[in-house]
Amino acid sequence: MKSAISSLISSRNFNLHRSSLSFSIFRRPSLLLPSQFPVISTDDKATGANFTSLRRKCRFHSTKSSPIMASSFNPEQARSPPAVPLPIPPVTKFKIGLCQLTVTPDKQRNIEHARKAIEEAVEKGAQLVVLPEIWNGPYSNDSFPVYAEDIEAGGDASPSTAMLSEVSRRLKVTIVGGSIAERSGDKLYNACCIFGTDGKLKAKHRKIHLFDIDIPGKITFIESKTLTAGQTPTVVDTEVGRIGIGICYDIRFQELAMIYAARGAHLICYPGAFNMTTGPLHWELLQRARAADNQLYVATCSPARDVGAGYVAWGHSTLVGPFGEVLATTEHDEAIIIAEIDYSLIELRRTNLPLLKQKRGDLYQLVDVERLKSE
Amino acid sequence: MKSAISSLISSRNFNLHRSSLSFSIFRRPSLLLPSQFPVISTDDKATGANFTSLRRKCRFHSTKSSPIMASSFNPEQARSPPAVPLPIPPVTKFKIGLCQLTVTPDKQRNIEHARKAIEEAVEKGAQLVVLPEIWNGPYSNDSFPVYAEDIEAGGDASPSTAMLSEVSRRLKVTIVGGSIAERSGDKLYNACCIFGTDGKLKAKHRKIHLFDIDIPGKITFIESKTLTAGQTPTVVDTEVGRIGIGICYDIRFQELAMIYAARGAHLICYPGAFNMTTGPLHWELLQRARAADNQLYVATCSPARDVGAGYVAWGHSTLVGPFGEVLATTEHDEAIIIAEIDYSLIELRRTNLPLLKQKRGDLYQLVDVERLKSE
């Protein structure tokens, strides 16, 4: 398999170098034919599959010319495969709801509580609702197996996602369902389910980077004691745009956000539960950096703080704009943040600072291994 | 050339996959032989060459085992070539001096002023002194050709670097000499010269990413009207550790910092002159993000603010530690910041958060094109 990837990398670069067409991505966007560039799409079926096909659809924002010329340093090669053009989202402006929920050991209460929060967010205008990481039970290695659900089986085997499906269909809202512990065979995952307005599971992200850290006297947690890491990045096309998904510790890995940006994401959602040590140190910093570096929206959703819990969450759910600016945030108590997203700002910021055209593909290249394999 | 790179990428990945030795980088560091892994070294000669050879020297910090096991996701493949081990620096603790200088149209005054500032920083204990971007004249496309110097010719053709050489030798101090406009043949560059304690030019970094931005009504600047972009990243071994160099806009490209970290840098120095728009938006954010994501030190040095100048600098020169924490900073007036760097914190933070061992080389790979070619 690896040798196949390697040869793909090889042939891809070689093709890029020789193909004037590929060069034209950045130099002459108005000359592009709609069918020439792959755009990532996720499987609509409720399979939980993440990145399953490359559909050859290509859409552009207005191709008004920038006063700044593209460089001659093969910026398109800085991503391998080259970044896809930003797709036109189904909606440009909409409201997002971030539900920073209290979580108790009572699973049924947590499910009903989350349902009410989603309903409230939708009442306040949210077309996209995001829940926290691990919202149906306590965050601990002891609890994961107890609260885990068989998402693929669904129904009674997964009351948490059954609720998400029901409410998303009933209220016609897109839900990034935070995360719950997932049982699949003899393995457990930390999994985020994304439901469309039709109540169907559009994608499922299993946390890729497990939270194994050790800051003596402050915080030590080894998630890999009980959980298995996911195997794929997740980008999903929804009624409110193309969304990349990461769970908590995934945010520390800038490469993941870079991959999502190159796949055309408008927004990255990170359900997450940073703690009282890493929260003040890094939570806002990482969100703002991912947004500013990749010139897209970033939304995070944490559980509310419970100082009596075994793991004390930092809170501070936040929405960040494509200039890295904090658009809405909160402290650590339970809260529902309603804030507006305006995707036209992505294009504006990328015109202001044309980073994508200024990258040095002759010096560095970020390879999206999975996308390369799929081509 | 490109096809050669491509085949290198191909063979490299293939070798990595098959080589149990390469796997052992992360799994069994104590078993490594010192001669097996390349470490980046820069040419000591005053040629301005940046990355010229791979010397097969390899040094390790103590290999105390982490309580956290490496993952099985080929983290070493997340960098291609694999990241080199952090070298043991010649000094663990030392003081850095950041000279946030006023810059006037009087070049001779600027040179004397910088000399005095370096002397003062050394008097206060600095073993490494950093100057601002474009410190020998105004920052403008009109001024670059007027103030440019032929650094390679040296002597009278480059009074600014002649001063840096003299003072570094006389005071036995390492100098990251901010930047000046460099004339080389019919081209102009924005160049940073690094002088060793022997007064020799150890390396020269030509700004790789030119500052071409357009935020209407706020700031528009097209550096490429007069300047040519540099062709190579710059990492230099000095008396105070391995230093990666970026100039101002270079800091926006996270890939460059990732390459420097993979080349074993302890510290990245960014002389820079952000402005009154991008400064408050991004200056501190980008420094902290580069430091926290790559778990190393970041130092920046700006000119002092001159509200009467054509280009008004933000100031706020800063030192950031490997947790992304601001260790020392200032406002916009002229200042010399003296602050302590402790490289042992790099190892500590990398033990606390073992990000390098947790990267997913099976999902993403950052290729350092130049280093790959040199192997």
| Residue type present at position A36 | Q
CATH superfamily of B91-373: Carbon-nitrogen hydrolase (3.60.110.10)
DSSP state of A149: B
State the Cα–Cα distance between residues A68 and B76, nearest whole angstrom: 37
| Residue type present at position A106 | D
Task: Examine the residue annotation and report whether B207 is marked as an active-site residue of this protein.
Answer: yes
What's the pLDDT at B292? Answer: 98
Tens digit of each residue's pLDDT (9 = 90 or more) over A323-343: 999 999 999 999 999 999 999
Tens digit of each residue's pLDDT (9 = 90 or more) over A228-281: 999 999 999 999 999 999 999 999 999 999 999 999 999 999 999 999 999 999
Task: Examine the residue annotation and report whether A207 is marked as an active-site residue of this protein.
Answer: yes
What's the pLDDT at B12? Answer: 36
Contact between A283 and A299 (Cβ < 8 Å): no
CA distances from A290 to A142, A215, A257, B166, B278 (A): 32, 24, 6, 43, 17
Compute the Cα dihedral for A270, A274, A279, A282 and give only its sign.
negative
Give percent of chain A with pLDDT exceeding 90: 81
CA distances from A231 to A3, A269, A330 (A): 19, 18, 32
pLDDT confidence band for A167 (50 / 70 / 90): very high
Alpha helices in chain B (DSSP H): 2-18, 20-27, 107-123, 143-147, 159-171, 254-262, 278, 284-294, 344-352, 355-358, 369-374
CA distance B169 to chain A (A): 33
| Residue type present at position B17 | H
What's the pLDDT at B33? Answer: 28
Partners of residue A233 in chain B, C-beta under 8 Å: 363
B363 and A369 in contact by Cβ < 8 A?
yes
Task: Examine the residue annotation and report whether B166 is marked as an active-site residue of this protein.
Answer: no
pLDDT confidence band for A375 (50 / 70 / 90): confident
Average pLDDT over chain A, rounded to an integer: 85
What's the pLDDT at A18? Answer: 28
Partners of residue B214 in chain A, C-beta under 8 Å: 66-68, 351-352
Instruction: Look at A14-18, A66-70, B208-212 and tell me which has the smallest mean pLDDT.
Output: A14-18
The reply to whether B15 touches chain A by the CB within 8 Å rule is: no
Identify the bridge partners of residue A328 per DSSP, sorted by sequence position: A319
State the Cα–Cα distance between residues B332 and B334, nearest whole angstrom: 7
Angle between helices B107-123 and B159-171 (to 10 degrees): 20
pLDDT confidence band for A171 (50 / 70 / 90): very high
Q: Where are the domains of chain B?
A: 91-373
What's the pLDDT at B375? Answer: 81
Contact between B263 and B371 (Cβ < 8 Å): yes
Looking at the predicted structure, is the pLDDT value of residue A204 above 90?
yes
pLDDT confidence band for A5 (50 / 70 / 90): very low
Q: Report chain A's terminal Cα–Cα distance, integer Å.
A: 14
Average pLDDT over chain B, rounded to an integer: 85
The pLDDT of A79-106, averaged and rounded, is 98
Find the CB nearest A68 among B212, B288, B289: B212
Contact between A369 and B365 (Cβ < 8 Å): yes
Instruction: Look at A32-36, A125-129, A308-312, B217-221 and tell me which has the smallest mean pLDDT.
Output: A32-36
What's the pLDDT at A10? Answer: 37
- Identify from B318, B367, B371, B373 which residue to disrupt to test chain A contact, counting A C-beta atoms within 10 A and taking the largest count: B367
State the Cα–Cα distance between residues A187 and A173, nearest whole angstrom: 30
B364 and A286 in contact by Cβ < 8 A?
no
Partners of residue A3 in chain B, C-beta under 8 Å: 14, 17
Enumerate residues 6+ apart whose C-beta is below 8 A from B286: A289, A292, B251, B252
State the Cα–Cα distance between residues B125 and B95, nearest whole angstrom: 6
The reply to whether B374 touches chain A by the CB within 8 Å rule is: no
The pLDDT of A152-169, averaged and rounded, is 97
Tens digit of each residue's pLDDT (9 = 90 or more) over A38-61: 323 333 333 333 333 323 333 323
B6 and A6 in contact by Cβ < 8 A?
no
Looking at the predicted structure, is the pLDDT value of residue A158 above 60?
yes
Identify the bridge partners of residue B244 per DSSP, sorted by sequence position: B235, B268
pTM > 0.90: yes or no: no
Query: What is the token pair recorded at A232?
Result: 């794929």
Looking at the predicted structure, is the pLDDT value of residue A11 above 80?
no
Q: List chain B residues with pLDDT less than 50.
A: 1-70
